[in-house]
Structure 1
Amino acid sequence: MTAMVLRALRFGSVAEAYERFRPGYPAELAELVLAYAGRPVRTVLEIGAGTGKATRRFARPGVAVTATDPDAAMLAELRKHVPADVRTVQAAFEDLPLGARHDLVLAAAALHWTAPERRWSRMADLVEPGGVFANCGAPIQLADPAVEAAVRAARAPFLDSDEIPSPDGTPPDHAMQWPGTELQRSEWFHDVRQSVLPHRFTMTAGDYVGYLSTVSAYLELPEQPRQQVYEQILRALPESVDITADLTVHLARRR
């Protein structure tokens, strides 16, 4: 089991908080992906489905959805929120059986947990020729720079950063973000597109700290400093905070 998979398995300890505090995905996500497909999508495989926040956008009549995740606790929470006919498989991406190919393979805030070695050749083995790979992610950011600075100062004694850097080193201001950069270099995929779906909302201070309790950087901390940093951040926050969570979507077609 890779170090990244082991780190991803920490989410199961906070599965209920993950479902409660992490924002869902807009309906426009499925509309964008299905329009890009340009043909009926009857089978969907989701990688790292978590508690099913993206799964439920694609689970609809006539579509066979398989949701996979390495963590049994996350899948148990997922089953509470998706239709009964969604199939679940407990496995990391690297351990998924090959053979069956799908019209759509989806990763929502999960692809960075996969091993880079053979990532795209394995992905290609899971997608039908002409089928679609879709990836989406939405960094949760405090909209007010002053509030962000206060949180950063409160966090500093415990964590330098709570962000996950781009897996291939692509800078945040680059026109094409990861994994689009890797997809553009891949021999198995083409017609790579990047879209951004705006998403803004407000959270209470308590709910924002609840969200932080599902972030891997905090879950890596020992119990005592983890609770201390939550308390420090809560004291630094106003009663409610404005959030920017614009969803970046990457689409590519299997050659």
Structure 2
Amino acid sequence: MTGVFGDVADLYDDVRPDYPAALADLIRDYHGGTPDTITEIGAGTGKGTAILLRLGAPVTCVEPDPRMTARLTATFPQVHAVTSTFEQWQPPAGGVPLLACALAWHWLDPTTRNPRAHDALTPGGTLAVFGHRYGYADPRQAHAVAAALRAIDPTAQERPTGWFQQDITDSALFTDIHADTIDRDLPLDTESYLRLLRTFGPYRQRSAEQQAQASTALRRLVDDFGGTVVLRLHTTLVLARRPRTDRP
């Protein structure tokens, strides 16, 4: 994930939608109160951090891109920021009571993210993974956008709904796995939609030619839909617990 978003850190922070405030209550209730400390993996510019700070505990943010960290700490100077990948970060002795990851789980090494998260937690500690899935309120818009993007890059694939809950479950390292989803609609005009598009990882990882083609095609589509597209945000929170006694 290092370098993918850093050169658009300000744009990312400006256009990425915030998380529902209700997530903080769901995390607190699951954890059983306010944790002593919180560590966030892949904190970015702090979209998830805003939710975690609502819990009222000190927050450490682990983020590999210093440009993202700079925007994060400008907004939330009270956090302790660590510029590091999750794979290089060393948790404190004894672990952390709450480990969170907002829309960054897919950027972590798939072979180690669950074992590392497990080992970073105190026994009985909480793992909270959350993020948005960007759908469309109008099925016609969803079909048209998908067709346009497939025409530009037929190899592009979307992760299945609920994939990170399944990923955590399949690791067999956690217990008491629970998921909540909050849906809401976000209307965007053409320019706002295209600005948001420029912050998506699949877009940023394409060639300059493919990026230009996507922008042109989607501008035409949104204009044809009257200059507005309505995103349906599916915000999912997956909560899991490190067992208090791990199996030998």
CA shift in 2, pair 1:149/1:61, >3 Å: closer
Matched position secondary structure for 1:74: helix
1:27 maps to 21
Of residues 96, 100, 120, the one that matches 2:89 is 96
The CA deviation string for residues 57-89 of structure 1, in whole angstroms up to 9 with x for no partner, is: 22258511011111111111112222x220111
Query: Is the Cα contact below 8 Å between 1:163 and 1:217 reproduced in 2?
Result: no
In the TM superposition, residue 133 of structure 1 has moved relative to its aligned partner by 0.2
2:174 maps to 189
Aligned counterparts of 1:40 and 1:69: Cα–Cα separation in 2: 23
Matched position secondary structure for 1:79: helix
Kindly indicate whether residue 225 of structure 2 is the aligned counterpart of residue 240 of structure 1: no
Q: What is the aligned residue count? A: 239
Query: Is the Cα contact below 8 Å between 1:193 and 1:251 reproduced in 2?
Result: yes
Of residues 226, 234, 241, the one that matches 1:253 is 241
Runs of 4+ in 1 over 3 A off after TM superposition: 161-164, 185-188
Aligned counterparts of 1:119 and 1:142: Cα–Cα separation in 2: 30
Query: Is the Cα contact below 8 Å between 1:162 and 1:218 reproduced in 2?
Result: no
2:195 maps to 210
Aligned counterparts of 1:61 and 1:38: Cα–Cα separation in 2: 11
In the TM superposition, residue 245 of structure 1 has moved relative to its aligned partner by 0.5
Kindly indicate whether residue 54 of structure 2 is the aligned counterpart of residue 66 of structure 1: no
1:169 maps to none
1:122 maps to 116
Aligned counterparts of 1:231 and 1:254: Cα–Cα separation in 2: 47
The CA deviation string for residues 170-204 of structure 1, in whole angstroms up to 9 with x for no partner, is: xx4xxxx3322233344432101111112222111
For 1:31-46, what aligned pairs fall within 5 Å after superposition?
A: 31-46=25-40
Q: Which amino acid aligns with 1:230?
A: S
Structure 1: gaps spanning 5 or more residues: 167-171
CA shift in 2, pair 1:118/1:156, >3 Å: closer
CA shift in 2, pair 1:163/1:70, >3 Å: farther
Q: TM-score, normalised by structure 1?
A: 0.86
1:79 maps to 73
State which drifts further: 54-63 or 103-112. 54-63
What is the root-mean-square deviation in Å for CA atoms of aligned residues?
1.9
Q: TM-score, normalised by structure 2?
A: 0.88
Q: Which amino acid aligns with 1:94?
A: E
CA shift in 2, pair 1:40/1:67, >3 Å: same
CA shift in 2, pair 1:183/1:59, >3 Å: same
CA shift in 2, pair 1:63/1:218, >3 Å: same
Query: Is the Cα contact below 8 Å between 1:99 and 1:125 reproduced in 2?
Result: no
Matched position secondary structure for 2:199: coil
CA shift in 2, pair 1:227/1:41, >3 Å: same
Matched position secondary structure for 1:80: helix
CA shift in 2, pair 1:131/1:61, >3 Å: closer
Aligned counterparts of 1:228 and 1:119: Cα–Cα separation in 2: 34
1:16 maps to 10
Aligned counterparts of 2:156 and 2:172: Cα–Cα separation in 1: 33
